[in-house]
Amino acid sequence: MKLLVKLGGTLLETAERRASLARQVKHLLRGGHEIVVVHGGGKRLSRYLAGLDHKSEFRRGLRVTPPEILDAVLRVLAGSVNRQLVADFQKAGVQAVGLTGIDAGTVQASQLDPDLGLVGKVERVDPGLLHRLTASGYLPAVACIAGGEKGAIYNVNADQMASACAAGLGVNRLVFLTDVGGVLDGEGALIRALSAGDAESLIQEKIAVGGMEAKLRAAIEALRNGIRHVSIVNGHEPDMLARASEGAGFGTELSP
């Protein structure tokens, strides 16, 4: 089975959690699954920016990215977070290769909205490099940075990046590993099954906001692009990846 796994930024904060995720990925690779990882790193980036006296601002769950913070975005997402993750995969015996969407023109974006600065909207995914890496036994770990026209570089919301890569690769399943048990309803109860239409309603009714609004939009897009299985599960729980890959993730399962 082909799997796209999106690792939420908070899951990557501790060495213990990264080691656990690496072990789970190794187990799935041994089972013959093809895996591509896309990761975020929002909280770490916010901390780094705060150290530079830049206050992070979000609109509809998307980070406003003025050109002057691009250097910091690259340092943290394509640098520290990506390198650390690759090192932890290597430690677990997984041959990980860290890259961004800029590499080999894998993800091409355009400016989503001038008010958001260098936030990219994915235009095109060329899965060639990712296919070659997985076919050769490597695990691609992609930071949520895309290339653009005339050498432009964009910060892409990691969920949108994951959704676009999932569609480009034609995966069987897209798993969002995050820091909550799944999508919660107005009373805070876990929603186990969600259609694309229900997900839209949760956004309209402002029940899913911030990071979850962005995640649901990305999930809806993936369903529209023909991905049949999309799950949102808690990456802090043990063995969640293995369970989610079988559609038994105890989180939220989305279907068209």
Ligand X SMILES: Nc1ncnc2c1ncn2[C@@H]1O[C@H](COP(=O)(O)OP(=O)(O)OP(=O)(O)O)[C@@H](O)[C@H]1O
Which of 215, 217, 229, 243 contacts ligand X by CB under 6 A? 215
Q: Is 156 helix (H, G, I), strand (E, B) or coil?
A: coil
- x-or-dash pattern for Mg ion, window 193-212, by CB under 5 A? ------------------x-
36 binds, among Mg ion, ligand X, none (CB under 5 to 8 A by kind): none
Tell me the two tokens of residue 46.
């916010």
> Is the Cβ–Cβ distance between 38 and 5 less than 8 Å?
yes
Which of 178, 231, 234, 245 contacts ligand X by CB under 6 A? 178
If binding is defined by CB under 6 A, does position 217 make contact with ligand X?
A: no
If binding is defined by CB under 6 A, does position 8 make contact with ligand X?
A: yes
CB of 74 to ligand X, least distance (A): 16
Question: Which spans in the chain are helix H?
Answer: 15-30, 42-51, 70-73, 82-91, 128-135, 158-169, 196-204, 210-224, 240-245
> CB atoms < 10 A from the CB of 212, how many?
24
Distance of CA 218 to the CA centre of its chain: 9
- Alpha-carbon distance 151 to 154, whole Å? 10
Q: Which residues are catalytic?
A: 6, 9, 42, 159, 215
If binding is defined by CB under 5 A, does position 235 make contact with Mg ion?
A: no
- Alpha-carbon distance 13 to 205, whole Å? 31
Which of 3, 5, 9, 102 contacts ligand X by CB under 6 A? 9
If binding is defined by CB under 6 A, does position 40 make contact with ligand X?
A: yes
- Residue numbers of the site for ligand X (CB under 6 A)? 8-10, 40-43, 158-159, 178-180, 183-184, 207-212, 215
- Residue numbers of the site for Mg ion (CB under 5 A)? 211
